Amino acid sequence: MKVLITGGTGFLGSRLCERLVRAGHDLCVLTRNPLARIGQAGVQFLSWDGQEWEHALAEAQAVINLAGEPIAEGRWTAAQKARIRESRVHATRQLVGRMASRLEKPAVLINASAIGYYGPCGEEEVTEADPPGHGFLAETCRAWEAEAQRAEDLGVRVVRLRLGVVLGPSGGALAKMVPPFVLFLGGPIGSGRQWVSWIHREDVVGMIEWALSHPQVSGAVNVTAPHPVTMREFCETLGRVLGRPSWLPVPAWALRLWLGEMAQVLVTGQRVIPHAATRGQYAFIYPDLQAALEAALASYSARVLPDDSQATQSRG
């Protein structure tokens, strides 16, 4: 299948590309910097500038849209918030606008979104049927999904992936959470009672492949593991896997001082249930947190941790 991907150079996209190439798909990645990627095997890299990508879009049977300014880099100044929102809304609008002006349409648009869509939810379980919440991220996700949804009027199947906290090697949330643990300074963030709806990166890719190959999958899909945990449990499991204590809590007020409004994402959470995936019989590779963390951190541990903590890991 010919697949056009935006954000294919990122933490999720680069792994997605590896797996799709291995599965025999023909990939074209839209990037802001195609020159930096010359020579990478199996994928054609095209710039958003120019018209070449529009031809690629016309030939694509599927479009996967992951592009967006990183959410957790730096304080949310007004300018950064505008970049976070506009990069997503604008890229999606451009893609769907070009689909509208072409006779040939892809069969499916798989568009990233996030569980931030639901806003802070406390103890309550949320599924795809729940309405959007309040706050900057919820508003951004709602606008992002609305742009993607317009493709449905063109006869394109639209899948909106509401991604949880993605765990994987060298990147994502773990790249920020692991270093304090390695230095014996790890512990739960905020009260520790907020819910963390996590997912292993291999399952993100697995669910994208599942959505590609199952024409009955459409609409919102929570991309989270079936067992969300509290922040306290998450950090205790992370400590166990790394052979380190989880003892030094980071108080919410300190995070607010350090990160400003962005701290809200860490001190509140969502208890998300992946109804669409379980109903559609997606088979999770990592349904449980400890195995997911062990897999995500295997290469990191081998490089950074001394032998005794790796022994703790292999004892599980």
Ligand X SMILES: NC(=O)c1ccc[n+]([C@@H]2O[C@H](COP(=O)([O-])OP(=O)(O)OC[C@H]3O[C@@H](n4cnc5c(N)ncnc54)[C@H](OP(=O)(O)O)[C@@H]3O)[C@@H](O)[C@H]2O)c1
Residues near ligand X, by CB under 6 A:
7, 9-13, 31-33, 66-71, 83, 87, 91, 112, 114, 163, 165-166, 172-173
Q: How far is the CB of 84 from ligand X (least distance, A)?
A: 8
Q: How far is the CB of 300 from ligand X (least distance, A)?
A: 16
DSSP string computed for the chain: -EEEEESTTSHHHHHHHHHHHHTT-EEEEEES-GGGGTT-TTEEEEESSSSHHHHHHHH-SEEEE-----SSSS---HHHHHHHHHHHHHHHHHHHHHHHT-SS--SEEEEEEEGGGG---TT-EE-TTSPP-SSHHHHHHHHHHHHHHGGGGGT-EEEEEEE-EEE-SSSHHHHHHHHHHHTT----BTTS-SEE-EEEHHHHHHHHHHHHH-TT--EEEEES-S--EEHHHHHHHHHHHHT------B-HHHHHHHHGGGHHHHHS--EE--HHHHHTT---S--SHHHHHHHHHHHHHHHHS-HHHHHHHHH-
* Rounded (5°) CA angle 208-135-141: 25
- In the numeric block, which tokens belong to residue 179? 């270093």
Closest residue to ligand X, judged by C-beta, is 10
| Of residues 88, 53, 266, 227, the one with CA closest to residue 161 | 88
Q: How far is the CB of 210 from ligand X (least distance, A)?
A: 17
- Which of 197, 313 has the CB closer to ligand X? 197
- Which of 119, 172 has the CB closer to ligand X? 172
Q: How far is the CB of 184 from ligand X (least distance, A)?
A: 26
Q: How far is the CB of 112 from ligand X (least distance, A)?
A: 4
CA distance 260 to 256: 5
- Which of 32, 134 has the CB closer to ligand X? 32
- Which of 11, 136 has the CB closer to ligand X? 11
Q: How far is the CB of 87 from ligand X (least distance, A)?
A: 3
CA distance 288 to 314: 16
- Which of 25, 88 has the CB closer to ligand X? 88
- Which of 12, 241 has the CB closer to ligand X? 12
- Which of 170, 213 has the CB closer to ligand X? 170
Q: How far is the CB of 253 from ligand X (least distance, A)?
A: 25
Q: How far is the CB of 9 from ligand X (least distance, A)?
A: 4
- Which of 114, 217 has the CB closer to ligand X? 114
